Homo-oligomer: A and B are copies of this chain.
Amino acid sequence: MTERWLDEVEMRAWVAFLDTSNLLLQRINQQLREDGGLTQPQYELLTRLAEAPGQQMRMAELALALVTSRSGLTYQVTQLEKAGLVRREACASDDRGILAVLTAQGEQALLKAAPGHLRVVRENLIDLLDRDQLTTLADTLGRARTHLRSAGNG
């Protein structure tokens, strides 16, 4: 088929998405570092564990949720384990499996970092939108995510 370039609105949407994503992650990292030693990937990791049943997850499952490589996850879990925020546990039902478990100290670190993190997310995205716009954002990007997860994953 003929190449379909992006028209003006499409281009605005795409570039705004890309820029906002980069700028927001940059700002979040900056805030977390000032707040006291967590990076954005680490915050995300702890959050996923906190929301998981039993506050624990299989490594492979966690890597998928965080959209990172298995080797990258191994690295971050090791870092967080050294810091005492996460511990590794054997998986009862599968001897190959490793469970990453949130520790009490990890929960504390999350609670300590959350207010500043949420403030940045609110100030620079959430609170700029009204209710309809928020719903549209959740719906449209939710559909994109579903599409990206279901389609050829590699």
Q: Which residues of A are in contact with B by a Cβ distance under 8 Å?
A: 3-6, 9-10, 12-14, 16-27, 30, 44, 66-67, 114-115, 118, 121-126, 128-129, 131, 133-145, 147-149, 151, 154
Contact = CB atoms under 8 A, between A and B. Distances in A.
Nearest to A65: B19
A42 B111 CA distance: 38
Contact of A144 (B13, B24, B145): B24
A48 B90 CA distance: 49
Contacts of A134: 9-10, 13
Contacts of A27: 148
Nearest to A135: B9
Contacts of A149: 23
A139 B9 CA distance: 10
A145 B16 CA distance: 7
Contacts of A128: 140, 143-144, 147
Contact of A17 (B5, B18, B66, B141): B141
A6 B126 contact: yes
B125 A9 contact: no
Contacts of A140: 128-129, 133, 136-137
